[in-house]
Amino acid sequence: MTRGRFITLEGGEGAGKSTQIALLKDALEASGRTVLTTREPGGSPGGEEIRNLLVNGATNRWEPLSEALLNYAARYEHLQKVILPALDAGTWVICDRFADSTMAYQGYGHGMDREIIRRLHRLVVGETNPDLTLIFDLPVEAGLERAGIRGEGEDRYERMGLDFHNRLREGFLEIARKHPARCEVIDATGDIGAVAMAVHDAVASKLGIDL
């Protein structure tokens, strides 16, 4: 059994990741692959309970370290119970956010000591890093406007202010610069078709597959 590939999508608020995940799943399935889509924080029963604690309530509800620990607790559940079994079974896993979000939001956004996040990462994730990470980039104001129009609740982070969101945008771009083999920045300002084409090209070229 060939192990599945692990693809993550990252970026700020309102970047259009969900729409693109659905389109990528269809394209991969049309080329004969079995695909699981999932998300963080969440993705497992325990992880979804932790998600409720993180995405609702007052913006100052948690200390940055508490947020990082909650995200990594949810991530461990997700990895052990969902992601690793799927990859072992040959399923491709597409995950809406993963560990780069902790580095961007808690590290760059909240200014948490990034070495602590790297240590947590080694402890919880170890070697199971994504094969490919697509970082959706767009101006903060445009993303927050899109997310606000969507108005799905779960808006604790959307309420954190422009400075916070600009720091995490820069953080994601720096992560992409530090990990060029794994990461590809996707310009998320275009329409759905243009972004889908960029995603398609990145997946095909970075993973060396025909799509």
Binding site for ligand TMP (CB under 6 A): 13, 39-41, 54-55, 71, 97, 101-102, 105-106, 154, 157
The CB-of-168 to ligand TMP minimum distance in angstroms stands at 8
Q: Which is nearer to ligand TMP, 6 or 105 (CB)?
A: 105
Q: CB-wise, 92 or 164, nearer to ligand TMP?
A: 164
Nearer to ligand TMP, 3 or 105 (CB): 105
Output the smallest distance, CB 202 to ligand TMP, in A.
19
50, with CB counted inside 10 A (0-12, 13-18, 19+), is buried
**Residue 75's closest CA among 112, 117, 109?**
117
Q: How far apart are CA 84 and CA 188, in angstroms?
A: 29
Instruction: Provide the minimum distance between the beta carbon of 210 and ligand TMP in the complex, in angstroms, as a whole number.
Output: 30
Nearest residue (CB) to ligand TMP, 5 versus 110: 110
Q: Give the closest residue to 124 by CA, choosing from 42, 176, 69, 171.
A: 69
> Nearer to ligand TMP by C-beta: 39 or 167?
39
Task: Report strand pairing: 6-11 vs 183-187.
Answer: unpaired
Q: How far is the CB of 105 from ligand TMP (least distance, A)?
A: 3
CB 31 → ligand TMP: shortest distance, Å?
27
- Distance from first CA to last CA of the chain, Å, rounded? 21
Alpha helices (H) in 56-161, listed in sequence order: 64-78, 84-88, 99-101, 114-124, 140-150
